[in-house]
Amino acid sequence: MAEKVGFIGLGIMGRPMAENLIGAGHELVLYNRTREKAEELAGDNATVAGSPREVAEQSDIIITMLPDSPQVEEVLAGEGGVLEGLREGALIVDMSTISPVVTKELAEEAGERGASMLDAPVSGGDIGAIEGTLSIMVGGEEADFERAKSLFEAMGKTITHVGESGAGQVVKAANQIVVALTIEAVSEALVLGSKAGVSPAKILDVLGGGLAGNKVMEAKREKMLGHSFDPGFRIELHHKDLGIALAAGREYGVALPVTAVVDQMLETLKAKGRGDRDHSALLTLIEDSSGHEIGDGG
Ligand code: NAD
């Protein structure tokens, strides 16, 4: 018999992911802090529960898609949380981006209750969530990965078991370092070129064809050249992710000097009131510092 799936956290990412699971024929039990968001999805194959504990009582596999470590801790281990209602043999799949250290602690707690947990953060953004083409990086036991695979396949395309508990979050932190530092580098290149009198569009065209070419230049081209920074992925969430990366660096004794600088740049953007802008708005900080705004590149 198909396993019943609980889904907690129906935001920008969680909602389309849950919709794709329903579309693939899975039976869901939904919970969101704002109840209406869950009710909007209710139907033949989806019911709404009153608390994370109730979700766990009714589910074999419980997926969470929440902002950060404190929310995942609250929803899993807090009062009325998932752990209180967990069935013997249940599987928790946390797809949020959180601290690998917190993930491991929660996986141990789940294990003590006869259940297990995977960390399965994603990349690919809201578009990937809507289209069901997310990259999913999974940490935990192989058997649990196999058990959840058909669910992952309904939400993503590149699905990789990367190691033991916490490994998924470590890979996601690595991903977020590369994306943030790349956006920063592209921003410096655009402002330098533009202030020196070269068209920023031409800079992207030329750099895109060589070793400097990267997906940030493609995916963020219109936002950066057009100064249209609606998210997408918000600066405040990326700042959260670099905080996770820096904390992991400290935990494992790894120096992340440039990550620390870009983390401070995102902090500055938040203080300037731009935390809700797309992360490609890092460009605006380099522009501020240089007294020059790039044009649309004509
Ligand atoms: P979001 O803020 O849109 O959604 C979070 C959802 O969790 C909201 O519906 C909120 O009501 C709910 N929630 C918050 N606290 C809760 C609580 N205590 N109990 C129950 N529900 C609660 O965020 P999002 O953009 O969907 O991101 C979710 C996760 O996915 C984050 O960890 C983020 O870093 C990661 N992520 C986001 C993107 C993206 O492009 N947005 C891409 C990859 C990964």
Q: Which residue has the higher pLDDT, 170 or 297?
A: 170
Distances (CA, A) of 66 to 7, 8, 223: 10, 8, 26
Active-site choice (172, 220, 223, 240) = 172
- Give the Cβ contact number of residue 114 at 10 Å: 11
Measured in Å, residue 15 CA sits from the centre of ligand 1 at 10
Centre of ligand 1 from the C-alpha of residue 240, in Å: 12
Mean pLDDT, residues 223-246 taken together: 95
Whether 1 shows a pLDDT value over 70: the answer reads: no
pLDDT for the residue numbered 126: 87
How high is the pLDDT of residue 2?
85
* Residues 219-243, mean pLDDT to the nearest whole number: 95
| pLDDT tens sequence across 86-116 | 999 999 999 999 999 999 999 999 999 999 9
Tell me the pLDDT tens digit for each residue of 111-127. 999 999 999 999 998 88
172 an active-site residue? yes
Domains and CATH numbers, the chain: 5-164 (3.40.50.720), 170-290 (1.10.1040.10)
pLDDT in tens, 27-44: 999 999 999 999 999 998
Percentage of the chain surpassing pLDDT 90? 95
Please name the residue whose Cα sits nearest to atom 8 of ligand 1.
Answer: 11
Which pLDDT band, with edges at 50, 70 and 90, does 297 fall under? very low
Cα 100 to Cα 79, 116, 138, 173, 228, distances in angstroms: 23, 16, 12, 9, 33
Per-residue pLDDT at 298 exceeds 70: no
Predicted confidence at residue 160, as pLDDT, reads 98
- Does the Cβ of 244 fall within 6 Å of ligand 1? no
Handedness of CA 159, 163, 166, 170 (dihedral sign): negative
Q: Which atom of ligand 1 is nearest to the CA of 66?
A: 7
Q: How far is the CA of 2 from the centre of ligand 1 (A)?
A: 27
Q: What is the mean pLDDT of residues 202-206?
A: 97
Which residues, in sequence order, are bridge partners of residue 37? none
